[in-house]
Amino acid sequence: MENLAIWFQQSGQVTLAPYALPTLRADQVQVATTLSAISMGTEKLLLSGKTEIAHEEIHSWPFRYGYQNVGTIFAIGSDVNASLLGRRVFSLKPHQQYYHATTDELWFLPADVSDEQAAYSANMETAVTFVLDAAPLIGERIAIHGFGILGLCTALILRQSGYNDIHIFEPSSARAHMAQELGFIVNPSSPISYDLQFELSGQQETLSKAIELACFAGRLVIGSWYAEEGAVVKFGGNFHKRRLTLISSQVSTFGANYSLRYDRKRRRELTMCYLPLLPNIPYQRVQPSEAPQAYARLLKENNLSPILIQWS
């Protein structure tokens, strides 16, 4: 059985080529991928040659990557319950036609979550972590910088939690329009001082802007990854006098203030509750054979619509 995969061949080059699966183990299932979502931030950096940002070590080209995979179980090992055949699942597996996994590597999807919504489970889980790290209080004035998938997920979680006056800062006209359509306040002409902000734009200059907009004792959750360039931030002026708090947030770990109460299972259950909130986003849907061209656009252009690879 042919199994195709997306390969990062070298900096700036992606190809579609075979990947031979090993023999299915007794404790594994085989999943046929339905669709996979390209990470607009991480994979763009990888394609630019910044392999140090990958969650696992990448020692050399070529390599397979991806972590937003939706599919269906169509074969099982001898030790796996047969009732799992046909179940829809999400996983952190690369962009490829088929893969093997143990059941504890899979998220079993409820009926009220579409394949398109499920493709962004990892983003929603990251947004859940942002909000847990932020620990918003009643009545706080909140701003989100960047309305890509992460900004969208974070805004939806906050609104579902009762925070209705969320301000969105987004330079892309298409993303700003989507935020307005969803009822958020976008690019206010007279910004206020914010109690809580989320920097999710991926642009280092936005961090300084957010610091300027913080109120006394304001908090700023930093979810952007600035790669090896880092971010140049001016801590002069009133930074110390205002007693600001900068919070680093990353989905691979839990904050010390809630780590004894939350684990991956509880966070995953929360994520599944929020996924149905995702609206019908204007995706770019491409066939696997068109993926190299889609990656080329990703490398050259900013603020593209989310890209889904349709495998079946």
**pLDDT score recorded for residue 302:** 81
Amino acid at 58: I
- Domain extents in the chain: 4-120+279-310, 122-271
Return the pLDDT at 227: 67
Can you give the pTM of this predicted structure?
0.93
Task: Indicate whether 155 pLDDT > 80.
Answer: yes
Give me the pLDDT at residue 3, please.
97
- What pLDDT score was predicted for residue 207? 92
Digit-coded pLDDT (tens) for 247-280: 999 898 899 999 999 999 999 999 999 999 999 9
**SS3 readout for 261-302:** CCCHHHHHHHHHHHHHHCCCCCCEEECHHHHHHHHHHHHHCC
Determine if residue 241 is left, alpha or beta; phi over 0 gives left, psi from -120 to 50 gives alpha, anything else beta. Answer: alpha
Task: Express as a percent the part of the chain with pLDDT over 90.
Answer: 79
pLDDT bracket for residue 206 (50, 70, 90): very high
Cα–Cα distance measured from residue 87 to residue 74, given in angstroms and rounded to the nearest whole number: 8
Position 138: which residue type?
I
Residue 55 has pLDDT above 60, yes or no: no
Q: What are phi and psi of 281, to 5 degrees?
A: -80, 145
Residue 45 binned pLDDT confidence (cut-offs 50, 70, 90): confident
Name which CATH class applies to 122-271: alpha beta
Distance CA 69, CA 106 (A): 10
Average pLDDT of the chain to the nearest whole number: 93
Of 3.90.180.10, 3.40.50.150, 2.40.37.20, 1.10.3720.10, which CATH number belongs to 4-120+279-310?
A: 3.90.180.10
